[in-house]
């Protein structure tokens, strides 16, 4: 079975398991989606949602966070990992949106990636989940599963993204990346399966006996 054949099987199985793919990060608008994605670095979506549910009802615009200032933002998000760095990014990002984008979240990768604290993955999530633009954000789950499923050599997340985009139709990317994330969290976890236990791994590699090593993101 080659990678193209595996990709078709994977798409079919994921479609059966996850016909619907709600956005994991709770948000009120494009700006709060952007902030939540930024906060989710090295942190679970559940933790982010637990924190932001007490923030977004009151603070949900760039102007709100600029007015709050870094120290108050720190207090609001202190239960999230590396909160001081994230608070600084949220503050500076909010300020830049007001100064350069009239308080609106820009609609291009280039403009998004110029915002403080926003890298390619964060920009991809916003473009995909916020604007509906075809993108394939690669997080640790996708990077791990793509290797276990033989869809990439896993050299790095950049290569993984390129390989996945070649294998899957463009109109499937937005839903597919969420399906893989959900599957990785439940069935093909980092410290479980190891490429030899879950349904997709055993379907793609029925004769695989030993756990496979993967390159970390």
216 vs 94 pLDDT, higher one: 94
Q: Which residues are catalytic?
A: 121, 139
Q: Alpha-carbon distance 89 to 92, whole Å? A: 5
Q: Which pTM value belongs to this model?
A: 0.93
CATH homologous superfamily, domain 30-130: Hypothetical protein; domain 2 (1.10.340.30)
Q: Which pLDDT does position 154 carry in this prediction?
A: 83
Decide if pLDDT at 216 tops 90. no
Residue 204 to residues 111, 198, 201: CA-CA distances in angstroms?
39, 10, 5
- Own/partner long-range contacts of 100-109 (Cβ < 8 Å, ≥24 apart): 103/61, 103/62, 103/63, 104/30, 105/30, 105/31, 105/34, 105/130, 107/131, 107/133
- Widest CA span in the chain: 59
Instruction: Taking residues 42-69, report their average pLDDT.
Output: 97
75-86 average pLDDT score: 95
Instruction: Reply yes or no on whether the pLDDT at 55 is more than 80.
Output: yes
- Going from the C-alpha of 195 to that of each of 24, 156, 168, 176, the distances in angstroms are 25, 18, 21, 19
pLDDT greater than 90 at residue 108: yes
| Structure confidence at residue 75 (pLDDT) | 97
Question: What is the per-residue pLDDT for 184?
Answer: 96
Give the distance from CA 35 to its chain's centroid.
Answer: 13
pLDDT tens string 129-160? 999 999 999 999 999 999 999 999 988 999 99
User: Which residues, 6 or more positions from 100, have their beta carbon under 8 angstroms from its beta carbon?
Assistant: none
> Which residues in the chain are classed under CATH 1.10.340.30?
30-130
pLDDT tens for residues 175-191?
A: 999 999 999 999 999 99
Residues of the chain with CATH 1.10.1670.10: 3-21+136-204
Residues 6+ apart with CB under 8 A from 150: 3, 6, 204, 205
Average per-residue pLDDT for the chain: 96
Would the pLDDT of 33 be above 90?
yes
User: How confident is the model at residue 155, as a pLDDT?
Assistant: 86
CATH class of the domain whose range is 3-21+136-204: mainly alpha
- Of the pLDDT bands very low, low, confident and very high (cuts 50, 70, 90), residue 207 is very high
């Amino acid at each position: 079975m080659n990678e193209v054949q595996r990709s078709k099987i994977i798409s079919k199985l994921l479609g059966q398991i996850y016909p619907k793919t709600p956005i994991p990060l709770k948000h009120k608008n494009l700006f709060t989606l952007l902030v939540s994605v930024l906060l989710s670095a090295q942190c679970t979506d559940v933790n982010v949602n637990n924190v932001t549910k007490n923030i977004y009802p009151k603070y949900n615009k760039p102007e709100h966070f600029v007015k709050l200032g870094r120290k108050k933002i720190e207090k609001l998000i202190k239960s999230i990992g590396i909160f001081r760095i994230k608070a600084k990014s949220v503050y500076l990002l909010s300020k830049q949106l007001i100064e350069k984008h009239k308080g609106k979240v820009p609609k291009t990768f280039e403009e998004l990636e110029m915002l403080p604290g926003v890298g390619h993955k964060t920009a991809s999530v916003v473009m995909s989940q916020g604007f509906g633009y075809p993108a394939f954000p690669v997080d640790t789950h996708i990077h791990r599963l793509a290797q276990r499923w033989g869809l990439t050599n896993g050299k790095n997340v950049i290569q993984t993204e390129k390989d996945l985009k070649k294998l899957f139709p463009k109109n499937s990317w937005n839903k597919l990346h969420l399906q893989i994330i959900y599957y990785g969290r439940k069935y093909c976890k980092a410290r479980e399966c190891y490429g030899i236990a879950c349904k997709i791994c055993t379907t793609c590699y029925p004769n695989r006996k030993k756990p496979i090593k993967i390159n970390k993101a």
